[in-house]
Amino acid sequence: MTRKRKRSKMLHSFLHDPPAMAGSLIIVVFLTAAVLAPWITPQDPYDLETLTFDNFLTPPIWKDGGQMPYLLGTDDQGRGILSTIIYGCRTSLIVGFSVVMIAGTVGVLIGLLAGYYGRWLDAVTMRIADTMFSFSTTLLAILLLGVFKKTGIGTVIAAICIADWVRYARTMRGSVLEVKQEAYVLASRATGARDMRILFRHILPNAMPPVMVVVAVDLAVVIMLEATLSFLGVGVPITEPSLGMMIAIGKDYIYAGMWWMVVFPGAALVVLVVGINLFADWLREEFNPKIERTG
């Protein structure tokens, strides 16, 4: 099958999979909002110079006491909920994509080398991976954040990356073990091609599909993890927006009847994660060789 035909076949299956299209629509909407945040929000909720208590704890616009421009109400520091959600998604997506890129690259390289060279390299890296895998990622990230002693988006990304590369390394290694037995790899080795060429020209592209599925699933996992860490108060600092932080602040007000501080950011998080997962499901079906073979 040529690459071009494969691509058109994927497009075809995508256009006939409504959940996948809904998922990608959600992702596009969130991405656009996140990128355009400074221009589409009525207020920069994290500009301390302009933030005041004047309009704090106002309910959503359709309730008594609601006021423009705070469509979904405000929180206890006077931040508009909608604006904060949009800025919070920005953080979620920045953390999500950064981790997927950094942990993905590192994990893929480690998996590639471990799978191809085997022996001690494989043994050492995979034992490390096993050890890290036996911890829950959340717990590991919390431990690391405790060790770093510094808060900030960068720290959160670093902590999640350290806890998360394992996923990629294991998937890649498994995939490489399969691919390196293929005839074309053996053939190119027989013709005297160097390791680097074999690794990056022949094995890497052909071992990638399972990793692509991990990327999509992992994006959702990382976004949830950032929200969890921020909810627990070990993630991004309170001066930076985060959906998890919003939920943490809002939960103190649930019994006071001010539900909007928790419900809206919670809903935003759910929609974003469901959107990514719908897309990931489709990707999994596309890339899973077993389904392709039987189907």
Contact call for residue 147 and other proteins (CB under 8 A): no
Cβ closest to other proteins, residue 219 vs residue 258 = 258
Q: Which tokens in the block code for residue 160? A: 């999640």
User: Of 14, 97, 133, 253, which one interacts with other proteins (CB under 8 A)?
Assistant: 253
Q: Which tokens in the block code for residue 59? A: 């309910």
Cβ closest to other proteins, residue 9 vs residue 150 = 150
Cβ closest to other proteins, residue 54 vs residue 191 = 54
Cβ closest to other proteins, residue 79 vs residue 167 = 79
Residue 56 CB, shortest distance to other proteins, in Å, is 6
Total of residues contacting other proteins (CB under 8 A): 22
User: Other CB atoms closer than 10 Å to residue 74's CB: what's the count?
Assistant: 28
User: Of 16, 190, 256, 295, which one interacts with other proteins (CB under 8 A)?
Assistant: 256
The count of C-alpha atoms lying within 13 angstroms of the C-alpha of 56, restricted to the half-sphere facing its C-beta, is 9
Cα distance between residue 21 and residue 13, in whole Å: 10
Residue 172 CB, shortest distance to other proteins, in Å, is 31
Contact call for residue 130 and other proteins (CB under 8 A): no
Contact call for residue 52 and other proteins (CB under 8 A): yes
Contact window for other proteins (CB under 8 A) among 3-11, 129-137, 178-186, 246-254: 246-254
Angle, CA 241 vertex, CA 263 and CA 152 arms, to 5°: 135
Q: Which tokens in the block code for residue 79? A: 């931040």
Q: Tokens 């919070």 sit at which residue?
A: 88
Cβ(163)–Cβ(136) below 8 Å = no
Contact call for residue 149 and other proteins (CB under 8 A): yes
x/- letters, 215..234, toward other proteins (CB under 8 A): ------------------x-
The count of C-alpha atoms lying within 13 angstroms of the C-alpha of 225, restricted to the half-sphere facing its C-beta, is 29
User: Of 11, 48, 139, 270, which one interacts with other proteins (CB under 8 A)?
Assistant: 48
User: Of 228, 237, 284, 285, which one interacts with other proteins (CB under 8 A)?
Assistant: 237
Contact call for residue 196 and other proteins (CB under 8 A): no
Cβ closest to other proteins, residue 4 vs residue 47 = 47
Residue 267 CB, shortest distance to other proteins, in Å, is 20
Residue 143 CB, shortest distance to other proteins, in Å, is 13
User: Of 25, 36, 56, 289, which one interacts with other proteins (CB under 8 A)?
Assistant: 56
Contact call for residue 151 and other proteins (CB under 8 A): yes
Residues that bind other proteins (CB under 8 A): 48-49, 51-53, 56, 76-77, 146, 149, 151, 233, 237-239, 251-257
